[in-house]
Structure 1
Amino acid sequence: MSTTTAAFMSSRRSPEKRGGDLSRRTEFRRQKPRILVVCEGKVTEDQYFNRLAAFFKASSVDVTSCDVEGIGQDPVSVVKHALDKRDRAAQKKGEGYSQVWCVVDVDQHPNLEDAILLAKRNNVRLAISNMCFEIWVLWHFQDHNSYATKDQLVEKIRVHIKNYVKDLPPVFPFGAHEDAKARALRAGSATVGARTNNPGSTVWAVVDAIKRARTPTVRATTPRNITNRHDSKRRN
């Protein structure tokens, strides 16, 4: 066996000499942020975020760790549910969430400010829509920058989604999420976790978080020394 071949085989047997256990480093590189999204609404919001995750996956975006739940309760109950689920997940190896989002409406909830304080104290991110989530849905289709009730927003959505009540159609323009974000920002919805004006929504921040979840925490790299030795062996 030549000296060059022996050195190459030795390097394969001892990856720690080249900067650590490659299998453990590879496992770390493959980790994605785990995101929990808990929604006030059971239908529209749940459908939106689950299908959005599928949309990004179809575009080579891996957000399979995004866990979405719609529980149909008031904002404080939504935040408490998210905290309970986060704490239970943290007790299981590899199941903890790196981000927790609650998606709520201003609507007629008297305890919204309590939910905002509870979320802030517990590092939970809050996305608030005013009057309701329907404004975020509408902004995928058109501009709207004047005060509107939920019923008025539903009527406007029906121009684009026939007979809309709560269910989203099988084909929804998720690709227009950047347009919706631009409209939200123009309406003054730039501060995440705060009550927005009517109309307003900071749901764009949840969408951005899910979109970023496709990126590994550490970029994968090719061990150059091994690659170079393979090339050298072929040339010899």
Structure 2
Amino acid sequence: MAGRIQRGRDMKRQKAVRPPYDRVLIVCEGEKTEPNYFGEIRVAQRLSTAHVRVCHSALGTEPQQIVEFAEAEFRKTRAYERVYVVFDRDEHRTYANALAMAAARDKTIRNDEGKMVPFEATVSVPCFEAWLLMHFAECQGALHRRDAYDRLRAHIAGYDKGYSGAYAATMAQFGLASTRAARLRERFSRLPGDDVYTDVDLLVSHLLAQIA
């Protein structure tokens, strides 16, 4: 009898143990480019899909819809330590509202372990390609989406929306890009979103720090 009780306790302890890295939900505006990029990082870091889930918003591409979808997905299981919503400034009407919505949810909802969960907006102005471009060149002031694409293609031949391999093409310059992104955050802010800006390096740094 005592042996069965001890085995039961051992099984409970084993069930409670999970890998020491965060379970992360990343919800992206884009259907391919951003999910491909973060998915490539997940594979490179050997992080399981059970602990880093990357998806796009099924509700639509407006920033507000991305926040709403991310919250709904989180609440299905609550099985995450962090939630990231990834979207561009571009010409979105709900950009500012989405930032406020994400901030209102940050560390106000609990996961399946009863812990308050960071709910963070990861934005790029004007677009995700600005972050990729920072791996190769300085970006200053206002930058139009078309210019970001044109300049990026000078470094990544054939780049277009839905491109696969962006992480492999940029990973060697990640440190330089992060430095450039940090300098821009010192000069500019997310709002009103007129000048080039990105937080993507912070999300990538968190993923790279995870234990495979």
TM-score class, shorter:
0.7 to 0.9
TM-fit CA distance, 1:23: 7.9
TM-fit CA distance, 1:169: 4.5
Structure 2 counterpart SS, 1:104: strand
Tell me, in whole angstroms, the C-alpha distance in 1 between the residues paired with 2:171 and 2:160: 19
Paired residue for 1:109?
92
The runs of 5 or more residues in structure 2 that have no matched partner are: 1-5, 107-118
Tell me, in whole angstroms, the C-alpha distance in 2 between the residues paired with 1:39 and 1:214: 23
Percent sequence identity is 24
Q: Please, what TM-score do these two structures have when normalized by structure 1?
A: 0.70
Distance of aligned partners of 1:63 and 1:143 in 2 relative to their CA distance in 1, 3 Å threshold: farther
Contact 1:38–1:82 (Cα < 8 Å) also in 2: yes
Q: Please, what TM-score do these two structures have when normalized by structure 2?
A: 0.78
* Selected match of 1:118 from 98, 101, 117: 101
Paired residue for 1:201?
198
Paired residue for 1:224?
none
Distance of aligned partners of 1:29 and 1:40 in 2 relative to their CA distance in 1, 3 Å threshold: closer
Matches within 5 A, 1:2-151: 24=13, 28=17, 30-57=19-46, 62=47, 64=49, 65-71=51-57, 73-90=61-78, 96-123=79-106, 124-151=119-146
The runs of 5 or more residues in structure 1 that have no matched partner are: 1-13, 91-95, 216-236
Residues 199-221 of structure 1, C-alpha deviations (whole Å, 9 max, x = no match) = 11011111122123327xxxxxx
RMSD between aligned alpha carbons?
A: 2.7
How many residues are paired up?
A: 188
TM-fit CA distance, 1:29: 5.9
Tell me, in whole angstroms, the C-alpha distance in 2 between the residues paired with 1:52 and 1:190: 28
Contact 1:63–1:213 (Cα < 8 Å) also in 2: no
Q: Which runs of 4+ in 1 moved over 4 A?
A: 20-23, 189-192
Residues 80-104 of structure 1, C-alpha deviations (whole Å, 9 max, x = no match) = 00000000022xxxxx111000011
Larger Rg: 1
Structure 1 counterpart SS, 2:169: coil
